[in-house]
Amino acid sequence: MDSSPDTLALDVAVPVYNEEASLERSVRQLHGYLTESIDTTWRITIADNASTDATAQIADRLATELPGVIAVHLAEKGRGRALKRVWLDSPAEVVAYVDVDLSTELSALPPLVAPLLSGHSDIAIGTRLARSSRVVRGARREFISRGYNLLLRRAMSVEFSDAQCGFKAVRREVAQQLLPLVEDNGWFFDTELLIIAERSGLRIHEVPVDWIDDPHSSVDVVATAGEDLRGMVRVARSIMSGKVPVAEIYAELGRRPYDPATPPSFFGQVVRFGAIGVVSTAAFALLYLVFQLVTPAQLANFLALLVTTIGNTWANRRFTFRVRGTATMVKHQLQGLVVFGLAWGVTSGSLAGLHAINPSASPNLQLAVLTGANLVATLLRFVLLRVWVFRGQRWPAAAPRSNRGTLPRQTRAPSATPIRTPLELTSNGAKR
């Protein structure tokens, strides 16, 4: 089906590299599903990124044999590079991609793209981490995937649940705005796109999916995870430096960031700070016992307090004082380190005092004294965080609402029924 640029609603990309064994089967299966289940104009774009086997020839043959299939060939490798090329060149209202192994059940495609075609969301992603998702994969990949997404949410302060599921869709105008800002051309492409989108206040729709791991996948999960960690550091630095102008993107797209929640009352701040303090104190005690096995007591105290202070500052910034965004993140962490210095003075002073009184104090006694001193330091930290670090902090002022409005993030998929839009397909293999 060769839809005209004025009527093409959905363009589904299939990025491939050396997939001669599975390409034809997967594309024919995808083509059959779209023909039977999607009642709007669509096409399939095979994005071959520098394959060295027969993938390019198979792609060209499929484009000749199947209506609504085209093949694009790139001279360089990289899934991100391939998606940038075909998405930016596409005339479709919504651009999407699926992994060539079709690990994700295709029945999730209609609820993935429906909120984008209706204008209710900007980006849609499949998630394997929702309660209603059905996932079949090995324990190792499950652990790595969940660990990576947990780290991503904590380190980057994002809310989307599954960054790397190969099942995503984007409205065309959003893709044209964001893709030039995405530097990664490989596997981190998805994560970088989503981080920039959420930090820009765009609406991300999540669809629980059924997903079966491909045991023959060539992806090196460990190496990819390492590259992704480096990518997170780079993206955070780009956002903080203004290289990625998230504050301007939503204005240009006619969107606005989500409204901030009502700041908690003083009592609410005390409760939240207390809960975080309990966790921090327990973490401090555990880390101290571990570090004390290989370092002197004072150094063990310093390291344990440093690690827990960084986590404590992040948690209080996010949950106790409800500060979001990245503009002041580094400043707050630096101020938190000043508070850390004072807290370290309290705890190290208590340890020095104990050693002056009892030079042969046991590790358990040292821990007890340090735990008590750490509680005092925690109280000092609350006072300083409230009256100095986070005093008067609020979210950035929201931009004016667009006429289309902003809907809350959707976490559950609409019913998986075929998409119904009034667009007609062209006569070349079209279905009316």
The enclosing H or E element of 42 equals: strand 42-49
**What is the C-alpha to C-alpha distance for residues 329 and 399, in angstroms, rounded to an integer?**
21
Cα(46)–Cα(25) distance, integer angstroms = 13
Q: Can 11 be counted among the known catalytic residues?
A: no
Residue 314 in contact with residue 294, Cβ under 8 Å? no
- Entry field: residues in the chain: 432
What's the 3-state SS for 268-310? HHHHHHHHHHHHHHHHHHHHHHHHHCCCCHHHHHHHHHHHHHH
Q: Which amino acid is at 255?
A: R
Q: Which residue has the tokens 């590079």?
A: 81
DSSP calls for 184-238: --STTHHHHHHHHHHHTT--EEEEE-EEE--TT----HHHHHHHHHHHHHHHHHH
425 C-beta neighbours (distance < 10 Å), count: 22
Rg (C-alpha) for the chain, rounded Å, is 26
| Burial (CB count within 10 angstroms: exposed 0-12, middle 13-18, buried 19+), residue 87 | buried
SS3 54: coil
d(CA 129, CA 257): 25
The order of strands in the sheet holding 42-49 is 69-74, 42-49, 10-16, 94-98, 167-171, 123-127, 204-208
Say if CB 179 and CB 103 are below 8 A apart: no
Please, is 378 exposed, middle or buried when counting C-beta atoms within 10 Å of its C-beta (0-12, 13-18, 19+)?
Answer: buried
Can you state the percent helix, strand and coil of the chain, rounding each to 5?
50, 10, 35
Report whether 17 contacts 40 (CB < 8 A): no
- Catalytic choice (48, 122, 190, 228): 190
**Catalytic sites, residue numbers:** 190
